Amino acid sequence: MYRCQYQVLVLFGTSETSDPVQLVLTDHIYPSPCISLSPNDLVGTGTKFTVHVEMGANVTIQCWNTGYRGTILLHKHGHSAPVQHQDYSGVGTAAFSLFALTLSDAGTYGCSYRPKSRPFVSSALGDSVMLEVTPTAAPSGAERNSRGNLVVSVVRGCAAAFVVILGLYFVLDARRLMVLLGESEALNSAEL
């Protein structure tokens, strides 16, 4: 575990200690963990599996090793830090759940573990699973409904415009009538 700190000679002060950074070494003495994916239960045996899942689905990735206590870690390729981790005692399986998948969850996942007796030593990444997330297909009636909603909105907009225009017509017509009545009264009073 490494941390940084600096000292300013002019003020004779020392900075706060930085956040820690772990240096973890891979030791090939420890066997790589196995991986499976639920609900499909595809167990890795030295090859990559590609699994296609729709957006919004839930997936569980299971990782296990043989006989070492410690921490099992789930890694996503391209990310330096593990995505999730679980502590366990003895032989066991760690279940990592990914809920309501989005397109950003797509990628290749693998597992490693760190023995409890050597927390800064890790096994190599085991087999991997490639998760491809596909957009959810719209139901066949959904497109029809959205077109119908568009037509209804246009008709409502036209009806509203018609009502506004009709209202303006009546207001202007009433005003014209008042002007005519005013002129008529003026003529009548001039004749008298």
CA dist list (Å): 152 to 148, 155, 166: 6, 5, 21
Q: 60: helix, coil or strand?
A: strand
pTM of the model: 0.61
- Going 167 to 168 to 169 to 175, the CA torsion angle's sign is positive
Around 150, how many Cα atoms within 13 Å sit in the side-chain half-sphere?
A: 6
Nearest to 42, CA basis, from 169, 159, 128: 128
Q: Which DSSP symbol is given to 81?
A: S
Are 122 and 114 a contacting pair, CB within 8 Å? yes
State yes or no: pLDDT of 167 exceeds 90.
no
Q: Which residue has the tokens 């070494």?
A: 25
With cut-offs at 50, 70 and 90, classify the pLDDT of residue 45: very low
CATH topology of domain 25-134: Immunoglobulin-like (2.60.40)
Q: Where are the domains of the chain?
A: 25-134, 139-192
With cut-offs at 50, 70 and 90, classify the pLDDT of residue 106: very high
What average pLDDT does range 91-119 have in this prediction?
A: 87
Return the biggest CA–CA distance within the chain: 123
State yes or no: pLDDT of 161 exceeds 70.
yes
Q: 191: helix, coil or strand?
A: helix
Q: Which residues pair with 152 in a beta bridge?
A: none
Q: Which of 75-79, 112-116, 136-140 has the highest mean pLDDT?
A: 75-79
Buried b (16+ CB within 10 A) or exposed e, 49-76: bebebeeeeebebbbbbeebbbbbbbbb
Are 94 and 83 a contacting pair, CB within 8 Å? no
Q: How far is CA 47 from the centre of its chain?
A: 28
What average pLDDT does range 82-110 have in this prediction?
A: 85
